[in-house]
A and B are shown apart, each in its own frame.
Chain A
Amino acid sequence: MDYLVNGLKQALILIFSFDREVYEIVGLSLFCSSIATLISSIAGIPSGYLIGTKSFRGKGLLVTLFNTLMSLPTVVVGLFCYSFLSHRGPLGFIHLLFTPWAIIIGEVILAYPIVTSLSISVTQGIDPKIKETSLTLGASPFQSIRSVLFEGRIGYLATIVAGFGRVVAEVGAAMMLGGNIKGLTRTIPTAIALETSKGEFAFGLSLGIILLSLSFAVNIFLYKLRGRGKK
């Protein structure tokens, strides 16, 4: 029990003393996750909207594919990207392996199906009369799409948060594509895995607390927005 309590004490000291290494890792994690979520959302929400609103052959299959990709194992994504980005791989010449951008690529592949799949559900749940009503009020096609997106704003936001949640906590792809290089590609989850295996329990715990706090903050933010949306 002392072991746990001491670990927690030291973790809190590391957090509140603004330990440089801890915050470097947090910064990199946030950078990679945010960029990956942003790219996934920019691509995923329009994809979800299009799939959700259009009728075409093979739609059911495509939706099933995206649903399946939601549970893509992170190490498989890591392995897949590694094979492309390694020096012997077809994209080896761009020298991205073991850089934060390699992590971002892997995370985009993980988050995009989640954002897309959830956006399809959000779009399909929106009353088609929203689009029609805006059209009868003289909206251009773009303005009518905007009104649909506005209607589903809380749902779409939740898809972004789900995408962020998926990438901020993943280890496999970040470990394989980033290489867990101190000061360069060490993210919160990879650092926790490494530090715990080294016996640096307090360091790992401090990062764990920060990771949980981040998730908590994001969810509080979403909850607040939901509340505002209902008013």
Chain B
Amino acid sequence: MTTIELKSITKVYDGHTVLDIDHYKFDQGKIYALVGPNGSGKTTLFRILALLEQPTTGIITIDGNNVTAFDSHTTRKKIVLVHQEPLMFDTSVRKNVAMGLSYRGVTKKEATERIRKSLELVGMSNFLKRHARHLSGGETKRVAIARGLALSPEIILLDEPTANVDEKNIAMIEDVITSLKQSNNTTVIFSTHNIKQAYHLSDEVLTLMHGKPRTEPVRNFFSGRGEMAENEPVFNTGGIKIKLPAFNDQVRYISIDPREIIISKKRITSSARNQFLGKIVELKMNGEIIGLSVDAGEVFHVDVTRRSFFEMKLNIGKQVFVAFKASSVVLY
């Protein structure tokens, strides 16, 4: 059993804490998805897990043994990190995949077999002799994954394996992640901005917000793109345009914490730049908190207290305004 445990891990850059995980355990053979907005600490966590960086405080254990970035490379051989933008060595696809195997002293015969199998798994068998620097972005990611898989690591870390990849390649990479679970006991930890993909592929989702794990799932998660509308930066979900604090054309997903949303029966004058008229379509009683689903072009999940709910005489079918600040929108 290969289990990685993080205990009281923090990482501080220039006095700024970018990662703060009290305790987290990755069990062998499971698939973990790491989600969170840009700058939430995903890549830092990957670098620490890959033993490329030492945390400022705390310890990492593999099967109960403390490991550090200063350990010999034999410890690092258990873990493979596939970067978000993988770099290919200036040689053929075959030699790229063979590189890690040569570091491990794998025999030529076995290496040939492992290269063949791993490239076959990612659908890149025909690219064996191609120069690795002449591949497209999606092909490069697939070869980088094959390069990692050929090593049969105990843990494989995939930093946004489907970012900036076309639909066809996304489907293929998703299949590879799923197949890993069936074929061997590799622990897979991958990061993604796509919450649906995270829940679909993984056994467990770890959400990071400002470097800290969040226990509750991300809600009010919308996909779309950032653009300018009437001289204002917005996020266009296709259904509605949500106002953002600043223009960002890189953003593909956003989320809004249900606790940041205000419900009102009339349009209110406030600092909330976003206000949408919608209809309550679902109610969920949860003790003193009542979860409302409001369809306002997109379905918003809002938490209100039982008292507010009854005082405002809310019910399914009632029209309400949902309001929230542009600064409450978390960008991914």
Contact = CB atoms under 8 A, between A and B. Distances in A.
A140 B102 CA distance: 11
B131 interface: yes
Given A136-B81, A137-B99, A137-B151, A130 B89 contact: yes
B214 interface: no
B30 interface: no
Given A143-B103, A231-B131, A138 B73 contact: yes
Contact of B86 (A133, A150, A231): A133
A133 B103 CA distance: 12
A136 B99 contact: no
B90 A138 contact: no
A135 interface: yes
Contact of B52 (A136, A140, A143): A136
A229 interface: yes
Nearest to B147: A137
10 contacts: A129-B87, A132-B52, A134-B99, A136-B50, A137-B99, A137-B148, A138-B104, A147-B89, A151-B89, A231-B131
A127 interface: yes
Nearest to B69: A135
A133 B50 contact: no
Nearest to A136: B81
Given A137-B103, A137-B147, 7 more contacts: A127-B87, A130-B89, A134-B103, A135-B76, A138-B73, A138-B104, A138-B151
Nearest to B87: A129
Contacts, number: 55
* Contact residues on A (Cβ < 8 Å of other chain), bracket: 10 to 19
Contacts of A139: 73, 100, 103
Contacts of A130: 87, 89
B243 to A, nearest CB: 37
B77 interface: yes
B89 A136 contact: no
Contacts of A231: 131
A199 interface: no
B215 to A, nearest CB: 30
Contacts of A227: none
B225 interface: no
A141 interface: yes
Residue of A127, A137, A139, A151 with most partner-chain B CB within 10 A? A137
Contacts of B73: 135, 138-141
A132 B84 CA distance: 13
Given A130-B89, A229-B90, A138 B83 contact: no
Nearest to A152: B90
Contacts of B148: 137
A133 B87 contact: yes
A150 B89 CA distance: 9
Interface string A107-138: 00000000000000000000101101111111
B332 to A, nearest CB: 24
A138 B103 contact: yes
A200 B101 CA distance: 62
Contacts of A147: 89, 99
B80 interface: yes
Given A129-B83, A231-B131, A137 B100 contact: yes
A92 to B, nearest CB: 49
Contacts of A132: 52, 83
Interface in B111-151: 131, 147-148, 151
A136 B87 contact: no
A132 B53 CA distance: 11
Nearest to A133: B87
Interface string A148-173: 00110000000000000000000000
B56 to A, nearest CB: 20
Nearest to B73: A140
A184 B22 CA distance: 75
Nearest to A143: B103
Interface string B163-190: 0000000000000000000000000000
A153 to B, nearest CB: 8
Contacts of B80: 136-138
A147 B73 CA distance: 15
B151 to A, nearest CB: 7
Q: What 7 A-B pairs come out closest when comparing CB atoms?
A: A137-B100, A138-B77, A136-B81, A129-B87, A138-B103, A139-B103, A140-B73
A99 B326 CA distance: 81
A127 B52 CA distance: 16
A129 B87 CA distance: 7
A132 B83 CA distance: 10
Contacts of A140: 72-73, 103
B83 A133 contact: yes
A135 B87 CA distance: 12
Nearest to B72: A140
Nearest to B100: A137
Interface in A189-220: none
